[in-house]
Structure 1
Amino acid sequence: MEQLWQQIKQRFLSNTTFQNYDDIIERSCQAWNEILSEDGFIENLCSREWSFLV
């Protein structure tokens, strides 16, 4: 989860000013949806070479 949050902050929310609380929610949801639209992003983010069983 921490890695996912770091990616969202770095790619979508860094150096951003928000108008109000609703703007924070809206932009966070947009970032989340953008991340989900990238095929294999979460799998690649969470996978580790050493964790695969042969």
Structure 2
Amino acid sequence: MQNGQILFILISSIIGIILFIIYPQLYPDGLPKWVPFQDIIPVPQTENESNS
């Protein structure tokens, strides 16, 4: 059982690193519109106004 947990952590971390490397190349302009980025990470209002 312990080996399965270690494999799961390794595979998920490798997938996360690969996505982290590939994802900015797929979306060079930033995150897609459907991602509620401000709901996940609260952003100051001044930063929102400068971005839009």
Q: What TM bracket, shorter-length normalisation?
A: 0.3 to 0.5
* TM-score, normalised relative to structure 1: 0.41
Q: Which has the higher contact order (CA 8 A, sep 6+)?
A: 1
The structure with the largest alpha-carbon Rg is 2
